[in-house]
Structure formats: C-alpha cells, structure tokens
Structure 1
Amino acid sequence: MTLQAELRVHRDGFTLELDLVVEQGEVVALLGPNGAGKTTALRALAGLLPGSRVTADGSSWDGLPTEKRPVGVVFQDYLLFATMSVLDNVAFGLRARGARKAEADAAALRWLTRVGLAEFAKARPRTLSGGQAQRVALARALATSPELLLLDEPLAALDASTRLRLRSELGRHLRDYPGHTLLITHDPLDAMVLADRLVIVENGRVVQQGTPREVVRQPRTDYVAHLVGLNFYRGVADGTEVRLDGGGTLTVAEPARGPVHVVFAPSAVSLFTERPAGSPRNTWRAVVAGVEQHAHTTRVDLDGSPAVFADVTTATVAELRLRPGDPLWVSLKATEIHTYAR
C-alpha cells in the first residue's frame, strides 16, 4: 500500500509545497534547517492544518478530523498525560476510538511488554527517565495500529548515551512496524541509521531526495553538504580543471565538462606551514579563520580561494600551533575530489 500526500500550506508569510510518497513498511526521514517546513508538514499530515491531500491505497483522508485519521504521533517532548498512569497513557488512543476499558488495557499492557516497560504500568510519567518516556510515547502511538506513524525529533530530548541505545531500539521497532513512517529530524545520524529514504526540504520545497547512500555521495545544496560533512562547491569543468564559482581552481582526476558540483572530505585536506615539497596537484595559501574540536578530530576553518574545512588530529594542531589569523598552505590530492553534474 502506498501513502501519497500533497501538502500545500500557506500561513504567516510561509508557503509549504511538498509532495510525499511513503511505501508500506518504509521509513522516510524529512530533514531540513530550522524554518524549512518540517513541523508544518507533520501538523498537516496529522490533520492539524488545512491544505493537505492525503491518500492511502486510493482511500482519501481529506476532510477527516484529527481524531479520525489513522495516524500515530510521537512528539519531541512526548506529551504524556501527567495525571494518568503509564498504562492509561498507552490505552488512551484505543479508548478514544471506542474500545472498552478491559480491551484497551490489555492491548496497552501488551505494548508496554514489547517496549520492556510492563513493570511501570501503574507509574506516573513524572517518575520515568527520558528514555522510558520515549518508549511509552512510542507504545501509545503504535497501540492504535496507525497507517502512518509520525516521529517528531523522537531522540532529541535524550542524553548522548541514552540516545545511542534508544536509536538502536527504535530501529528495531520500526523494522517490525508494517505501516508507513515519517521521521522528522535535524540529526543526520538519526536519519542515516533509521531511514530507508531521505527527503530534504529548504524554504518549504524539496531540494533533494534519495537513499542515504545517494544523498551522502552527491549533495545538491550547501545545507545537505554541511549535513553530511563535506566541502562543497559549484564550478565549471573543462577536462581535469574546475573553475569554482566562488574563486579558485581545482585539478580533478576524472575529466568532466560543464557545470558541476565538487565535493571532498575535510579529512582529505592536508595543512603545512610552508609550501609542501614535490608537486601536489592542488596547493594554495589560506588563513586560519577558526578552530573547533569535533569528537576525536579538530575542524579547521580556512579562508582562501577556495575557502575550505580541514579535519586534523590534535597532534597536528599542537605541531602547527594553529591559531586564528595564521597563514598556512593547503594541499589536496586530485584523486580525493569527486565531481558530478549540476
């Protein structure tokens, strides 16, 4: 069964024009910067905003009030009912759809067992950890057997160690879920690990979509390149030479012609205090604009033609004594550069 959505929302000077297709059993991640329209899309799909046309296997959801839509939602802050027990929270959707209390409670307990929280059935939400609250919210969303599961930044409120464990657990539940899943997130790791397909939106429009592998290999905008951690440029290729739109020229290994995108990893960039010996294919002068620690590496922001990000080790930082304003030589092998048509 295929779920198709045509979202056309105009509000407060912002316009969302988004067409989505989600196959049964598929997890689609909707990514984008703040203000791109992700939350607007979620609210439209849930029936909280006018302007959406949604069909599932030819059956239209148009005109259905929110409570009648076959949709389950896990909100970023989970929004558990503080005055209800955990069991009553999970049973709430079933009761709202007319199930008798005994039937709803039995189903809720089965779901709590599946997420490993049956022992907390009588507890209040305020006694739960962030990870436990997330699992209760997921159980509540899935208890009604929705056709569409909406996940709004489901791991954002968790600390790093809990997030790692819950990401794996959430992935297992999503693999078992037979419906359609739309994951709203700004976190590229959540998207890459959990989703089968990525849809990237900027300013209310789709700018790129594809499998995680496709998006990582060929980003189409600056935002997407930043998301996947690549240096990204636009230029015009003439054989193995690419003239970059922002200034500078790069030599590449694979010949090309016409407008291209150019990408390479920050880890492919080498830094020197003096011009490197030999004949590197790409060498240019730059000035350190900033230095920032990134996990086990250091990200160096360099102004030059072109400007570039370099990822180096802490030992390299100490050896070069990198400080903002320092002049350096940048070196990059042609074989490390990837180009593709614009």
Structure 2
Amino acid sequence: MTLHAEIRVARGEFDLSLDLTVEPGEVVALLGPNGAGKTTALRAISGLLPLGDGRIALDEEVWDEPPRTFRTPDRRPIGVVFQDYLLFDHLNCLENVAFGLRARGVDKHAARAEATRWLDTVGLSSYARSRPRSLSGGQAQRVALVRALATSPSLLLLDEPLAALDASTTLHVRAELGQHLDRFPGHTLLVTHDPLDAMVLADRLVIVEHGRVVQEGRPTEIARRPRTDYVAQLVGLNLYRGRASGNTVSLSEGGTITLAEPASGPVHVAFPPTAVSLYPEAPSGSPRNTWPATVTGIEQHAHTVRVRLTATPAGPTTLLADITPAAVADLHLSPGQPLHASLKATEIHTYPV
C-alpha cells in the first residue's frame, strides 16, 4: 500500500500546496526552514487539520477528501512521536505504552503484556514502573517511539523527534532510531529542519520552502545537486546559477567561473568550501579562478574554520571557504580583511538548471 497525500491548506496568508508519496518500509523526510509548512502537512496527514482541498489516502482507503470524506485521527492507522514526546506524566512508562492499545479496545492485561514486550525491545523493561519525569531525554524518546509503534500503525509520523535532546545524546539516539526504522514495515514520514537527521534516517528527502516542494530525491542526490540556496546551505556547498559556454560560466549575479570540463546552456554551479583557498597576495601563476575578496565572517566548524567572503565583480559575489585553524593564524584573519580567493576548477560540479 502507498500513502498518497495531495495537501492543499490555506491558513491566513500562508498557502500550502504539496504532493508526496510514501511507500511501505520507506522513510521520507519532509525538510525545510521554519514556516515552510512541514508541521501543517503533518497535522493534515494525522487528521488534526482538515484539508481545504486535495486528497489523503492509503491506497484506496481515503482519509480526507473534501467535502465528502474526513476521518478523525482516531480512525486513521497512525502513530505519532511529537517533538516534546508528550508522555502522560500521571502514568508510568508501562501504562504510557499501553495507552494506545487500551484506547483501541485491547484488554488491559493483553495491552500491558504487549507494552512490556515493546519496552523490552528498547532496553527499558526495568523502567516500566517509572514516571516520565524520572527519565533521561533519550529514554523518554524511546518510550514515545514504542508507544507509537505498539498499535502496529500503517503510518509513523515523527515530528522533530530528536530536537529535545542535548548534543551529547543525539548521536546515540539517532543511530538507535535508525535501527528501529529499518525494522518498521510501515510507512514513515519524518518532519525535521535538521539536515543531518534527514540525511542519516531517510531514504528520500522532500524539501519544502514557502509551502511548495522545491526539490526531492535520495539524500546523496540532494547533497550532490542542490537546486536552491537553502538546500545548498543545508549540504554545505557554494551554489550559483549561470550560462555555460565551453569552459566558462557567466554567472547570473555577475562575474565568471572557469570550468575544467566544458558545458553549455543554463547550469547550476556547485563546489565545496574546501575547494576554495585563501592567500594574502595573488598566488603565482595567476590561475583563472582567482579573485580579490573581503572577509565578512569567521565561524568555527568542528575541526575547520568557515570563512565567509565577498568577492569582486569578476567572480561570485559571495563565497564560503573552509580552512584549518593553522591557516587562520597564518593569515591573521579578521572581518574586513582583504585577501585573494582561489578556486580549483577540478572540484567544480555543473548540472542543468
């Protein structure tokens, strides 16, 4: 069975219009900036927000199709893990996991037995009688996940499932969540603004900006060929648009870039910040892709330093360069400092607009 969602929702001045599908066993990440419409889409699929127009169906089982059909959330085979988990503080972990089963009419003893089995699968059987407030963030996330899975949902909705965790916990819990999703036979929709969560957990990404899908595909495809500035920032690439003629691209924003391999027509030009080198003076040999530039920002990124630059009209108007802390010291970098930026043509990637 395939989940088909044609979502049309208008809320004030915001208009959401997106189509998506999720196959059995597939994890699809809905990724976008705040205000893009991700949560609105999740609310519509879960039944918390009726469609203005469109259709949501699991194969031929229609959940929402105005004005004829609307299934309330309790009549949709879904499980939801919310950003803040929303565990019931007055219930212990066992009763939290059993809650959905009891709500669907399962006998109390059978529901508790099934809840015990699920807690055991995530290593929390010893916390069955504990209240949520005594759990760590990672433990609460696991209880919320098995509470959602215990009802054997056809669709699992994950709303920013790792956002409430601290950085030291996220890496382990992300890996653990990925293992559970690999075993889940149903459909999974992950809503997130975190590109790492999406890249690690999802089989396919759907990128949403301003209520519209701007790009979708496998994570490796998205990372290699971003199509908007937002996506380029997510995957850490410099991205420009222009028209190629032979080994030269005339950029839409002005300036040119020289390619190692010829191309033609409208193209995207992408390259990693590591392809950009910085020099206090123009490098010898005067390679074609070298431009005077000015430092506008300096940020620490793990073991490298990201330098933001503006270049002269001869090249890209803005550039990102990743260099080592030692290079920062050698160059005595500071905002406003003039430099020369050089780009390796062999690391430039072009693809059609």
**TM bracket (short chain):** over 0.9
2:139 corresponding residue in structure 1: 132
What's the counterpart of residue 337 of structure 1? 348
* 2:17 is the counterpart of 1:17: yes
* Offset at residue 254 of structure 1 (A): 1.6
Which residue identity is paired with 1:320? Answer: L
TM-score, structure 1 length as denominator? 0.99
Give the CA deviation at 1:245: 1.2
Query: What is the CA–CA distance in structure 2 between the aligned matches of 1:15 and 1:43, rounded to whole Å?
Result: 14
Q: Is 1:273 the equivalent of 2:280?
A: yes
Q: Does 1:230 align with 2:232?
A: no
Q: Are residue 288 (structure 1) and residue 299 (structure 2) matched? A: no
| 1:253 CA displacement | 1.2
Structure 2 residue 43 is matched with structure 1 residue 43: yes
State how far apart, in whole Å, the 1-side matches of 2:296 and 2:253 are: 17
Count of residue correspondences = 342
Is residue 151 from structure 1 mapped to residue 158 from structure 2 by the alignment?
A: yes
CA drift at 1:281: 2.9
TM-score (norm 2): 0.96
User: Given the alignment of the two structures, is residue 250 of structure 1 paired with residue 257 of structure 2, yes or no?
Assistant: yes
In structure 2, which of residues 318, 326, 341 is the aligned counterpart of residue 315 of structure 1?
326
1:206 aligns with 2:236: no
Which residue is equivalent to 1:325? 336
1:316 maps to amino acid: A
Q: Which of residues 80, 90, 115 is equivalent to 2:122?
A: 115
Tell me the equivalent position of 1:55: 57
Q: Aligned partners of 1:143, 1:290: CA distance in 2, in Å? A: 49
SS of the counterpart of 2:176?
Answer: helix
Matches within 5 A, 1:185-204: 185-204=192-211
Distance in 2 between residues matched to 1:57 and 1:127, nearest whole Å = 42
What is the identity, as a one-letter code, of the residue corresponding to 1:230? L
Would you say 1:67 and 2:101 are equivalent positions?
no
Shift of 1:53: 2.1
Q: Which amino acid aligns with 1:151?
A: L
* Structure 1: stretches of 5+ with no match in the other structure: none
Contact map agreement 1:283 1:330 (CA 8 A) in 2: yes
Q: Is the 8 A contact 1:238 1:258 kept in 2?
A: yes
Q: Provide, for residues 104-153 of structure 1, a one-character-per-residue CA deviation record: whole Å limited to 9, x for no partner.
A: 11111111001110111111000000000000000100000111100011
Query: Residue 61 of structure 1 aligns to a residue in which SS?
Result: strand
Separation of aligned partners in 1, 2:339 and 2:286: 17
Structure 2: runs of 5 or more not aligned:
65-69
1:164 and 1:202 mapped to 2: Cα distance? 27
Cα-Cα RMSD: 0.9
1:127 partner letter: S
Task: Encode CA deviations 1:29-50: one digit per residue, 9 max, x unaligned.
Answer: 0100110000001100100001
**2: CA distance between counterparts of 1:261 and 1:120?**
53
Q: Residue 281 of structure 1 contacts residue 333 of structure 1 at CA under 8 Å; is this kept in 2?
A: no
- 1:288-318 deviation line (CA, Å, top 9, x unaligned): 0011111111010001141100000000000
Task: For residues 82-119 of structure 1, give each alpha carbon's deviation from its aligned partner in whole angstroms, at most 9, with x where no partner exists.
Answer: 11111111111111111111111111111100111011
Cα separation, 2, equivalents of 1:83 and 1:281: 68
Distance in 2 separating the partners of 1:53 and 1:25: 22
Secondary structure in 1 aligned to 2:113?
helix
Q: Distance in 1 between matches of 2:175 and 2:288?
A: 43
Distance in 1 between residues matched to 2:121 and 2:59, nearest whole Å: 29
For 2:310 and 2:95, locate their aligned partners in 1 and report how far apart those are by CA, in whole Å: 57
Large movers: runs of 4+ above 2 Å: none
Tell whether the 8 Å contact from 1:30 to 1:183 is kept in structure 2 after alignment. yes
Percentage of matched positions with identical amino acids: 69
